[in-house]
């Protein structure tokens, strides 16, 4: 029974890792192609995130990435999660538009490591609280670092934070389901 749970944890961890890696190119593609309004050719495209508040469409994937990083850590461990962050920052630098390479990679790197630092001590006892707290810290850091490095302004901070927070909140039912299923099946988090 333990071996089956271990295989399931590893298999799911690899799926979460692949999805985590995909959030980066998807976010960059969304910014240039999907939104209710798109400025100039290839973006940025924006979407409404609250009444009267717009944000670049890629923010949706950043919120998802923060939760997926937590799930990668839960399934594959802290060390592999840290390696995934480094790889993610490299992917971010490779797929970002040339004018946003530094902002994109730095924001990803700093926000994901902040997420890891907050999530790790909380996750053993309170998974949902750990995901919410770490994602909130990560999305605020990501928004501030990205906006400041990319544009030298925090003018669009509210839209960035709200858009990412929506995606975190939408993921919570899945995290609750996963935690309950893990408890029922005896799947333990990786270390």
Measure Cα distances from 51 to 54, 152, 162, 180 in Å: 8, 25, 11, 35
pLDDT at position 96 is 75
In 3-state terms the chain splits into helix, strand, coil percentages (rounded to 5) of 75, 5, 15
Average pLDDT of span 62-69 = 93
d(CA 36, CA 7): 43
pLDDT at position 42 is 60
pLDDT at position 14 is 95
| pLDDT per position as a tens digit, 97-116 | 777 788 888 998 899 999 99
| pLDDT per position as a tens digit, 28-50 | 888 878 888 887 766 678 899 99
H helices of 96-126, in order, are: 101-123
| pLDDT per position as a tens digit, 157-187 | 999 999 999 999 999 999 999 999 988 888 8
Domain boundaries, the chain: 2-185
pLDDT at position 32 is 79
d(CA 39, CA 25): 20
Percent of residues, the chain, with pLDDT higher than 90: 51
Task: Name the pTM for this structure.
Answer: 0.89
């Amino acid at each position: 029974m333990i071996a089956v749970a271990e295989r399931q944890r590893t298999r799911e961890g690899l799926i979460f890792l692949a999805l985590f890696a995909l959030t980066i190119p998807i976010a960059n593609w969304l910014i240039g192609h999907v939104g209710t309004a798109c400025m100039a050719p290839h973006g940025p495209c924006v979407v409404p995130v609250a009444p009267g508040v717009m944000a670049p469409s890629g923010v949706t994937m950043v919120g998802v990435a923060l939760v997926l990083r937590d799930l990668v850590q839960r399934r594959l461990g802290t060390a592999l999660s840290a390696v995934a962050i480094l790889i993610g920052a490299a992917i971010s630098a490779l797929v970002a538009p040339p004018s946003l390479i530094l902002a994109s990679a730095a924001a990803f790197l700093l926000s994901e490591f902040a997420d890891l630092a907050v999530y790790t001590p909380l996750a053993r006892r309170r998974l949902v609280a750990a995901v919410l707290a770490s994602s909130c810290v990560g999305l605020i850091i990501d928004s501030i670092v990205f906006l400041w490095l990319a544009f030298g302004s925090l003018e669009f901070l509210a839209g960035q934070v709200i858009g990412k927070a929506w995606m975190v909140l939408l993921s919570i039912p899945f995290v609750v389901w996963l935690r309950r299923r893990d408890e029922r099946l005896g799947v333990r988090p990786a270390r």
